[in-house]
């Protein structure tokens, strides 16, 4: 959860995160929602058949057809919005023309699909190597601007991002992007390693 005032959250929102005694709960359509699913953009019928309730797609190509099919199978969809990976010499985050063009694309995307019943939340960027710095740099300022744009256009769904498990990146995100609603950790391989990874980040 972020520094956004939890008590001020509008509980009429389609999807939101609620603080409770034992942590935080994702609420969807007025009821607790526990994500059980997979990534990809195919075999949605098989995914639903084994009891899943969520699909994560890594980009928004053909997103309308994916959202529509997901709705048919009662699946919620996490929609990734790809961003250029941050590096010290990256030029996207210092190019005002490219940023303006992407803002237009982002605004159109969110406006078009913000009311789709299958949408769960927006995932802004994947494994961006969020920098650990004291002052906000061009990447952070641009990233925060995109978060604010999505929140403005779609106040009914959270905005998250996904990183490789990292304590320093997590701390930097909390410091510089507190308006982000959630952080996802990409952990691959043995499922038994997930809990130790989370413990490492939170300890």
Query: Residue 6 pLDDT > 70, yes or no?
Result: no
pLDDT for 89 equals 59
String of b and e for 47-68 (b: at least 16 CB within 10 Å)?
Answer: bbeeebbbbbbbebeebeebbe
Which range among 79-88, 118-127, 133-142 shows the weakest confidence by mean pLDDT?
Answer: 79-88
pTM listed for this prediction: 0.91
Query: Residue 128 pLDDT > 80, yes or no?
Result: yes
pLDDT in tens, 132-185: 888 999 999 999 999 999 999 999 999 999 998 888 999 999 999 999 999 999
Distance CA 174, CA 196 (A): 21
Mean pLDDT along residues 61-76: 97
Question: What's the token pair of residue 13?
Answer: 């929102």
Average pLDDT in the chain = 90
């Amino acid at each position: 959860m972020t520094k956004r005032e939890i008590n001020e959250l509008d509980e009429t929102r389609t999807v939101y995160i609620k603080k409770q005694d034992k942590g935080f709960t994702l609420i969807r359509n007025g009821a607790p929602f526990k994500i059980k699913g997979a990534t990809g953009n195919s075999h949605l019928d098989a995914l639903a058949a084994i009891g899943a309730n969520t699909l994560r797609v890594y980009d928004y190509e053909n997103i309308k057809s994916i959202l529509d099919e997901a709705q048919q199978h009662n699946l919620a969809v996490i929609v990734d919005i790809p961003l250029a990976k941050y590096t010290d010499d990256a030029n996207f985050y210092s190019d005002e023309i490219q940023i303006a063009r992407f803002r237009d694309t982002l605004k159109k995307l969110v406006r078009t699909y913000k009311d789709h019943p299958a949408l769960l939340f927006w995932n802004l960027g994947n494994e961006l190597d969020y920098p650990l710095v004291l002052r906000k740099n061009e990447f952070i300022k641009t990233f925060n601007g995109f978060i604010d744009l999505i929140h403005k256009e779609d106040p009914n769904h959270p905005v998250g991002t996904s990183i490789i498990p990292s304590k320093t990146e997590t701390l930097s995100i909390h410091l510089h992007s507190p308006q982000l609603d959630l952080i996802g950790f990409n952990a691959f391989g043995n499922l038994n390693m997930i809990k130790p990874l989370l413990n490492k980040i939170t300890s």
